[in-house]
Structure 1
Amino acid sequence: MSRGVRIVFLGKLADLAGEEAREVDAPLDWQGLLDALPGPLGEAARGERTRIAVNGALLADKAALQAGEGDEVALLPPVSGG
């Protein structure tokens, strides 16, 4: 059985998603990620302050997202200052 891409939601994004992680079909690119995240979650992912990491490496450009079978894509919410 093939493994998909695991999307991990951190912080307030996990609250928004109602789950900490979700499996989607591989391969996954930026448009595929947006398609997998409807409504407010997709809007949050598009936000310029939301960062994306693939297998622990932060992407400088979210649109460059390319993930394959067994990869983990983490969505990191903006860090609130204090």
Structure 2
Amino acid sequence: MKINLRYFASVREAVGIGQESVDLPGEVDTVGAVRGLLVTRGGPWAEALAPQRAVRMACNQVMCGPETRVEAGAEVAFFPPVTGG
């Protein structure tokens, strides 16, 4: 299944790209599993998306949790928490 990934702010800076398309293996069917798959790339991916890092996620431009199902053609985004004041 092919999906589109987008990276924002410090996540984009860490991994060096803003977006990409990927073909997911059959067992990767949630946003959390996508994040886990990216972590297995190692290097900056493992550091920026590590489980202990505060990273927000969205699927098809809707904030979501790791249990959110991913379907073919979905857009999954990763970005740091936003603070304001």
TM-score normalised to the size of structure 2? 0.70
CA deviation map 1:27-70 (0-9, x unaligned)? 642224322343332343224521100001111x32x0321111
1:41 corresponds in structure 2 to 45
Q: Please list every run of 5 or more consecutive structure 2 residues that lacks an aligned counterpart in the other structure.
A: none
Indicate the percent of aligned positions where both proteins have the same amino acid.
24
Compared CA separation, residues 17 and 48, structure 1 to 2 (3 A): closer
Q: Please list every run of 5 or more consecutive structure 1 residues that lacks an aligned counterpart in the other structure.
A: none
CA contact (8 A) 2:3 2:22 kept: yes
Measure, in 1, the Cα distance between the counterparts of 2:81 and 2:57.
Answer: 11
Measure, in 2, the Cα distance between the counterparts of 1:48 and 1:17.
Answer: 14
- In the alignment, which of 35, 38, 62 is matched to residue 57 of structure 1? 62
2:11 corresponds in structure 1 to 13
Compared CA separation, residues 55 and 22, structure 1 to 2 (3 A): same
Superposed CA RMSD:
2.4
